[in-house]
């Protein structure tokens, strides 16, 4: 079997963990070919930590040309352009910054179809995407996700600044946002990839409901999902341990991307 050449865009918490996993867990099936980060120090630091030495690309185009599968682990601002460039050059793509692609998702899907390539979107830090996908074969009536995080997890979010919310003064559970996934991903793009994934798997960004709560009592990122469907009602709660390199990122998000790679390479596929 020819090895799949994988390139990673973004060498932070997720990109770094995935690079290590590709080398350690998928040595027979894949080759980590290239890394790219707009912060060249980040890519250089990651290469130093790895046992093998992938090429550090100086631009996105160089990485795409060297790879069969491009993993985007960069930012919501850049994920659409990265996915579009990869698909246009007939490469498969895995997207982690899902908040950045929901608006233009139809265009990406059409491009993937036209070029016979795939867009992989891991479930990320939530449970229930499997059941939602199955329920959506029938009729889904309502999907709501409630995300609860420590106020510190919302540091740097411009919506918080614009609303004049002082995160350090939050002493009890406080609803920061309640509305559609469309607005949630616009205002909280770095925090709410899970709402984007849920929208794509279910009712879309206009009809998926999102509530965001800041709670000084919690240290984990908690996602509760309620689904009402003709197949029955589904409720899931995921209490996420945070990634040691980035407290905004849940460790499960990394594992879910590794699980998608496993799905690509291994002969047995479990789950929807
Ligand atoms: N799908 C999910 O469930 C989920 C969960 C957590 C995080 N995420 C998203 O995944 C992305 C990566 O998360 P992380 O924790 O690794 O973040 P991080 O901040 O630790 O790392 C991101 C890296 O990407 C680099 N980068 C930014 N823009 C770039 C660009 N245009 N081109 C190349 N490199 C670029 C940064 O310099 C940084 O090194 C974020 O957008 C985050 O919101 C998704």
Q: Using 50 as the pLDDT threshold, list the residues of the chain that sit under it.
A: none
Q: Judge residue 39's burial from the number of C-beta atoms within 10 Å of its C-beta, 0-12 exposed, 13-18 middle, 19 or more buried.
A: exposed
pLDDT of residue 258: 97
Residue bearing the CA closest to ligand 1, atom 18 = 12
What is the pTM assigned to this prediction?
0.96
Q: Where in the sequence numbering do the catalytic residues fall?
A: 223
How many angstroms separate the alpha carbon of residue 65 from the centre of ligand 1? Answer: 21
Tell me which fold the domain 129-240 belongs to. Answer: Dihydrodipicolinate Reductase; domain 2 (3.30.360)
How many angstroms separate the alpha carbon of residue 141 from the centre of ligand 1? Answer: 33
How many angstroms separate the alpha carbon of residue 122 from the centre of ligand 1? Answer: 14
pLDDT of residue 248: 84
pLDDT of residue 189: 81
pLDDT of residue 150: 94
Q: What are the residue ranges of CATH 3.40.50.720 in the chain?
A: 4-121+252-265
Q: Which atom of ligand 1 is nearest to the CA of 189?
A: 43
Q: Can you tell me the distance from the alpha carbon of 84 to that of 101, in angstroms, rounded to the nearest whole number? A: 10
Tell me which fold the domain 4-121+252-265 belongs to. Answer: Rossmann fold (3.40.50)
Q: What are the residue ranges of CATH 3.30.360.10 in the chain?
A: 129-240
Test site for ligand 1: of 16, 121, 192, 249, most ligand atoms within 8 A of the Cβ: 249
Q: Can you tell me the distance from the alpha carbon of 7 to that of 266, in angstroms, rounded to the nearest whole number? A: 20
Residues with CB under 6 A from ligand 1: 9-15, 36-39, 42, 73-76, 78, 96-98, 124-125, 190, 193-194, 246, 249-250, 253
């Amino acid at each position: 079997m020819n090895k799949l050449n994988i390139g990673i865009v973004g060498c932070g918490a997720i990109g770094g963990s995935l690079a290590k996993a590709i080398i350690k867990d998928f040595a027979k099936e894949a080759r980590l070919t290239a890394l790219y980060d707009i912060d060249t120090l980040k890519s250089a630091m990651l290469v130093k930590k790895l046992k093998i030495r992938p090429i550090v690309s100086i631009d996105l185009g160089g990485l795409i040309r060297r790879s069969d599968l491009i993993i985007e682990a960069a930012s919501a601002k850049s994920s659409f352009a990265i996915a579009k460039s990869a698909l246009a050059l007939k490469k498969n793509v895995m997207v982690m910054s899902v908040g950045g692609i929901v608006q233009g998702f139809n265009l990406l899907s059409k491009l993937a179809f036209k070029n016979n390539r795939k867009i992989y979107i891991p479930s990320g830090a939530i449970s229930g995407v499997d059941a939602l996908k199955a329920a959506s074969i029938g009729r889904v009536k309502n999907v709501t996700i409630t995300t609860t995080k420590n106020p510190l997890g919302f540091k740097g979010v411009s919506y918080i600044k614009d609303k004049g919310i002082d995160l350090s003064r939050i002493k009890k559970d406080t609803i920061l946002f309640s509305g559609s996934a469309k607005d949630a991903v616009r205002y909280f793009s770095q925090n709410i990839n899970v709402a984007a994934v849920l929208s794509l798997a279910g009712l879309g960004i206009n009809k998926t409901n999102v509530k965001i709560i800041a709670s000084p009592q919690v240290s984990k990122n908690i996602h509760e999902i309620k689904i009402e469907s003709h197949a029955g009602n589904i409720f899931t709660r995921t209490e996420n341990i945070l990634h040691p390199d980035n407290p905004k990122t849940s460790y499960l998000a990394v594992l879910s991307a590794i699980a998608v790679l496993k799905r690509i390479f291994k002969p047995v596929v479990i789950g929807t």
